[in-house]
Structure 1
Amino acid sequence: MAQIFLVEDEERVSALVKKTLEEHHHVVETAADGAEAVRRFANKPYDLVILDVMLPYLTGIEVCRHIRQKNKTVPILMLTALNSVDDKVTGLNTGADDYLVKPFHLKELQARVDALLRRNMSDTAPVITFGKITLNTANNSVEREGRKIILTTKECALLELLMNNNDKILSRQTIAEKVWGISFDTGTNVVDVYVNYLRNKIEKGFTEKYIHTVIGKGYIFKTEEA
């Protein structure tokens, strides 16, 4: 059971989503505008946030920014009626972990919620080590040479995929499917954007690089000596 915060101004959509999630034994609290969402989130921790993009007073993008200032790791699933690549990338770059385009199937919503919660609410603390990097997938943290690094949920998922497939070339299509659960769209640069985010966090200030670009193929995670 998870504590889920649903921010949606369309009453019918809000009621359907709330009913679906409660049938799966989650506790769901709702808000109908962006300003209320910011106030509520500041006063209570949640396990997951479902956030509509088009909201009164503050947009979902603005709310997402506010949430990320307070909490770097809570999973955020965006709901949007906007289907352009730029709109999706804007949401992901703001700090969202996943998105669904309206209208969506409730089964797909539940599947995406389950996937985000599994990653963020694991009872175990699996630790992956490669080279001088140690990843704790339970709290999305990385330690490198005594320095602690905090990752967002998607950054953690990307690093976990790369580390578990070290010394293997992963295509952008494979990364998109494994990390975002979507088919790779050649019109979006979201994979490259997140690789750069990850590079800045785990490599900036260090001599040795781990994430290498393979031109025309994708990325490989390896030591520079490999």
Structure 2
Amino acid sequence: MKILVVEDEEKLADFMVKGLQQAGYLVVKCDSGTEALNKVASENFDLILLDLMLPGANGLEVLKNMRAFNISIPVIIVSALSGTAHVVEGLDLGAVDYIKKPFDWEELLARIRTVQRIPSAGEKSKINVGELSIDLAARKVTREGKDFNLTAKEFILLEYLARNANRVVSKNQILENVWQMDFDPESNIVEVFMYQLRKKIDRGFAEQMVETVIGVGYSLKGTKAK
């Protein structure tokens, strides 16, 4: 599941991103309503966690613009503005839920899981690439009936590769999208995780799906189901 966190309070945004990644989600963050609109216009997301008090376009304006352009990504409003009028307007504009700051972390995760269980919410609950099946809701990965026990970070990495199946993604892109880090030429964290992922996904199979393109990046090979 790919989540967009729209929050201008830096410490809170970083806390949410770290917690969501530890829970096994692919996360992108931005700190303004204008940037959020640009993100949803250019990338696919399964869920948006949206603050209301934002620079540029505020959260309600973001919702209005999304609905005007028929962008139906589920939205959970996360805001200190908890008056009835704000709640009603947010829900009327299409938000699926509304949680008040400060919030309980486990409650937020539970509400996210509720959205995951809605069949029509966002993209399909599964990504299939060739013989590999990734169940985003159940956090389950199988290949030819064989189950794989992936760590939370390995799952996020595989999901990112699967969403970009048959495209080569660079080390820099992986760091930005999976680890939310700027490129560090001295770090070998991507190489280590790709090695571990390849051992789990490809070992014992004739066809190798995880491909290293030397000097360029990595790719997950296979026909992606629509």
**8 Å contact from structure 2 (residues 66, 72) kept in 1:** no
- Structure 2: distance between partners of 1:55 and 1:29: 17
Which residue is equivalent to 1:33? 32
Which residue is equivalent to 1:115? 114
CA apart distance, 1:24:
1.3
SS at match of 2:81: coil
| 1:41 alignment partner AA | V
| 1:105 alignment partner AA | D
| 1:53 alignment partner AA | L
1:49-103 Cα distance to aligned partner (Å, 9 max, x none): 1100000011000001122233453210001111211111011111111011010
Which residue is equivalent to 2:219? none
TM-score by length of 1: 0.52
Which residue is equivalent to 1:62? 61
- Structure 2: distance between partners of 1:39 and 1:74: 14
Which residue is equivalent to 2:15? 16
CA apart distance, 1:113:
0.7
Higher relative contact order (CA 8 A, sep 6+): 2
| 1:18 alignment partner AA | V
**8 Å contact from structure 2 (residues 52, 60) kept in 1:** yes
**8 Å contact from structure 1 (residues 64, 95) kept in 2:** yes
Percent sequence identity over aligned pairs: 36
SS at match of 1:29: strand
List runs of 5+ in structure 1 lacking aligned partners.
124-226
List runs of 5+ in structure 2 lacking aligned partners.
127-226
1:19-45 Cα distance to aligned partner (Å, 9 max, x none): 111111111000000111111110011
User: Which has the higher mean CA deviation after the structures are superposed, 15-24 or 48-57?
Assistant: 15-24
What does 1:66-81 align with in structure 2 at a 5 Å threshold?
66-81=65-80
**8 Å contact from structure 1 (residues 34, 57) kept in 2:** yes
Which residue is equivalent to 1:96? 95
Q: How many aligned positions are there?
A: 122
What does 1:63-212 align with in structure 2 at a 5 Å threshold?
63-119=62-118, 120=121, 121-122=124-125
State yes or no: 1:46 paired with 2:42: no
**8 Å contact from structure 1 (residues 6, 29) kept in 2:** yes
SS at match of 2:117: helix
* Runs of 4+ residues deviating >6 angstroms: none
CA apart distance, 1:12:
1.2
Give the 3 Å change call, closer, same or farther, for CA 102–73 of structure 1 in structure 2: same
